[in-house]
Amino acid sequence: MRETGAIILAAGMGTRMNTALPKVLHLIGGHPMLRHLLDALQGAGISRQVVVIGWGAEAVKAALPEVQFVLQEPQLGTGHAVLTARQAFADFEGELVVLYGDVPLLRQRTVSAMLAAVSGEASADLTVLGFRTSAPSGYGRMKLGADGGLERIIEDRDATPQEQEIDLCNSGAMAGDAGMIFELLEAVGNTNAKGEYYLTDIVGLAGERGKRVTVFETQEDEVMGVNSLAELAAAEAVFQSRRRNEAMDNGVTLSDPGSVYFAHDTRIAAGVTIGPNVVFGPGVKIEAGARIEAFCHLEGCHIGKNANIGPFARLRPGTRIGATAKIGNFVELKKAVIHQGAKANHLAYIGDAEVGEGTNIGAGTITCNYDGVDKHRTEIGKGVLIGSNTALIAPLKIGDGAIIGAGSTISADVEGDALAVERAELRLMKGWAGKFWQRKRAAKKAKETKD
């Protein structure tokens, strides 16, 4: 079987981003743009993937250490960039797809379709990814022949008024036999205003050599480029819209879809209900029947069946919530395991802790897990009642069935079924408050009279 390969061009500076971060490392759904493309390639079964880098090369390599990179230096255009990767395909026989690192929303199915168009019994030698738009200004126009093949790509500045009316535009991505692509690139010149070698020039060269070039069309939003932070925000909006629709199609109820934000790897089972203004960071999995109420922020956590979270809850990485557990408003969890049926209904911080089945955490409870240098663990057993405004100083163990009196500071282990109370004895001084207020008001009146 012939192999499939991909080259991603990611060497540009991204000057319009106005940030120190290489353009392809900017995040969409919590994932670098370049990683989105690599995931699509992996899903399409691409056996060899090479990324061409230039500006910010060390940062890109550090962010994606498992990827095969080649360095384009100097940077002499897109055609030159592809040729830079030629040595990485020296022993390669098969179809090659060329993509752009700043076009991150390309779907797996589109990559597969492009390769299918130039393999097997397909009649195309080269296929170019195109899209139709009502605002084609600035894009290269794709002029088709009578047989439906691609005759040439006309740059916007070179198009005649009639050609400017063409709404089929070039995305820049293409696919074809690897050997043919490299051979055509060897013939590309740089007699243009920038003195660069353009990948798109191989379309005309292929036609001159009797090769059949076709267009594979996709939706405009799938090939939107990201060259500024405004365009990054637009791409994020497209990504979020896709994920919201996918979630609802898969049986997830979103009461206000436009206010819910997903990460690239958010996994939600059918039958989950999500309220408005909920944000998912990376690494969240939610099982069937759970409810996520309004204004919650979840990251790196696993929520069990029929659990209830929020409103206004924050779940940080390492948190696991058991079935039917309840985490209420203004509760923050970090590296916390909350077992089945346990509750922390309001105003609590539970960090580096394990809470047993059926335990109730009262309002204002905190686990004091950090001593200024190290983090320490709190272990709370089954069926424990933790009273309100309790400070649990880790490391600490509280046995099954214990009760911790409200307002206590607990710094030693508590055995099962015990009552632990740590409070100062109440002192009651009758009449003291009345005399206090009398003195304060008299002093204030004397001061006002003097002034």
Residues 97-109: tens digit of each pLDDT:
999 999 999 999 9
Q: 114 pLDDT exceeds 80?
A: yes
Q: What is the pLDDT of residue 238?
A: 97
Banded model confidence at residue 130, pLDDT cuts 50, 70, 90: very high
Minimal CA–CA distance to 14: which of 123, 101, 96, 134? 101
Q: 210 pLDDT exceeds 80?
A: yes
Task: Calculate mean pLDDT across residues 57-78.
Answer: 93
pLDDT in tens, 233-255: 999 999 999 999 999 999 999 99
Distances 148 to 122, 144, 270, 271 between C-alpha atoms, Å: 14, 6, 44, 47
Strands 391-393 and 366-368: parallel
Q: Which domains does the chain have, with CATH numbers?
A: 3-223 (3.90.550.10), 250-420 (2.160.10.10)
* Phi, then psi, of 56 in degrees rounded to 5: 70, 25
Q: Furthest-apart CA pair in the chain: how many Å? A: 106
pTM equals 0.90
* Phi, then psi, of 127 in degrees rounded to 5: -125, 140
Task: Calculate mean pLDDT across residues 258-270.
Answer: 98
Contacts by residues 295-301 (CB-CB < 8 Å, ≥ 24 positions apart): 299/263, 301/333
Q: What is the DSSP string of 263-301?
A: -TT-EE-TT-EE-SS-EE-SS-EE-TT-EE-SS-EE-SE
Q: 123 pLDDT exceeds 90?
A: no
Q: 1 pLDDT exceeds 70?
A: no
Q: 35 pLDDT exceeds 80?
A: yes
Terminal Cα-to-Cα distance of the chain (whole angstroms): 99
Q: What is the pLDDT of residue 369?
A: 95
297 burial type by CB count under 10 A (0-12 exposed, 13-18 middle, 19+ buried)? middle
Q: 81 pLDDT exceeds 70?
A: yes
Is 80 known to be catalytic? no
Q: Report the C-alpha gap between 301 and 320 in whole angstroms.
A: 6
Q: Report the C-alpha gap between 108 and 122 in whole angstroms.
A: 19
Q: Report the C-alpha gap between 422 and 153 in whole angstroms.
A: 80
Q: What is the pLDDT of residue 451?
A: 76
pLDDT in tens, 369-423: 999 999 999 999 999 999 999 999 999 999 999 999 999 999 999 999 999 999 8
Q: Tell me the β-bridge partners of 191.
A: none
Q: Which residue has the tokens 């690897």?
A: 178
Task: Indicate the Cα dihedral angle 279, 334, 390, 345, nearest 10°.
Answer: 40
HSE-CB at 448 with a 13 A cutoff on CA atoms is 6
Catalytic residue among 80, 264, 302, 346: 346
* Mean pLDDT of the chain, nearest integer: 95
Q: 426 pLDDT exceeds 90?
A: no
Q: 9 pLDDT exceeds 90?
A: yes
Q: 147 pLDDT exceeds 90?
A: no
Q: Report the C-alpha gap between 45 and 111 in whole angstroms.
A: 10
282 burial type by CB count under 10 A (0-12 exposed, 13-18 middle, 19+ buried)? middle
Query: Which residues make Cβ contacts (< 8 Å) with residue 441, sequence separation at least 6?
Result: none
